[in-house]
Structure 1
Amino acid sequence: MSIASKHAGQAALSICEALLLAMNDRGLLPEHEILGILRDAAATHENATGTKEEMQDHRSVAGVINAIIAGGNSVRRL
């Protein structure tokens, strides 16, 4: 992955997390729906197929999403 792609991915993640937080703060999406979105995204990557390298990449992405879920960052759990 190029440095530009890595930075674009990090920027996209930050933007998406901020959007999820804002939607929760404004009452547009409840916490359980945000968690559902994150779980669906992780499951998509966990179940992806492809070459060995592609599957490793997908598993890494799922790991990042699952870490966000575990950390509670996107829903500001108390």
Structure 2
Amino acid sequence: MSNASEHAGQAALSICEALLLAMNDCGLLPEHEIAGVLRDAAATHENAIGTEREMERHRAVAEMINSIVAGGNSVRRL
């Protein structure tokens, strides 16, 4: 993956995390719903099909999302 793609991915992750935290802060989504959104996203990648290389990437993404759910974030636990 190119540096530009890696940076775009990191930016997207940071933006999504900030949006989910803001939604919780504003009372739009409780923490258990946010964790559910993340679990759904992980499941999408766990169930993806494609070439071996594509599936490897999907598994890595699912593992990353699941680790976020398991470990929370630097501000508070989900």
Query: What code does the residue aligned with 1:59 have?
Result: R
Determine the C-alpha separation between the residues in 2 that align with 1:52 and 1:34: 30
Equivalent residue number for residue 47 of structure 1: 47
Query: What code does the residue aligned with 2:4 have?
Result: A
Query: What code does the residue aligned with 2:28 have?
Result: L
Unaligned runs of 5+ in 1: none
Equivalent residue number for residue 56 of structure 1: 56
Query: What's the secondary structure of 1:27's corresponding residue?
Result: coil
Determine the C-alpha separation between the residues in 1 that align with 2:68 and 2:33: 15
Query: What code does the residue aligned with 2:51 have?
Result: T
Give, in angstroms, the shift of residue 35 of structure 1.
Answer: 0.7
Q: Percent identity?
A: 81
The runs of 4+ residues in structure 1 deviating greater than 6 Å are none
Unaligned runs of 5+ in 2: none
Please report the TM-score for the alignment, with normalisation by the length of structure 2: 0.93
CA RMSD of aligned residues (A): 1.7
- Number of matched residues? 78
Listed one character per residue, the Cα deviations across residues 3-37 of structure 1 (whole Å, up to 9, x for unaligned) are 10000000000000010011101111011110110
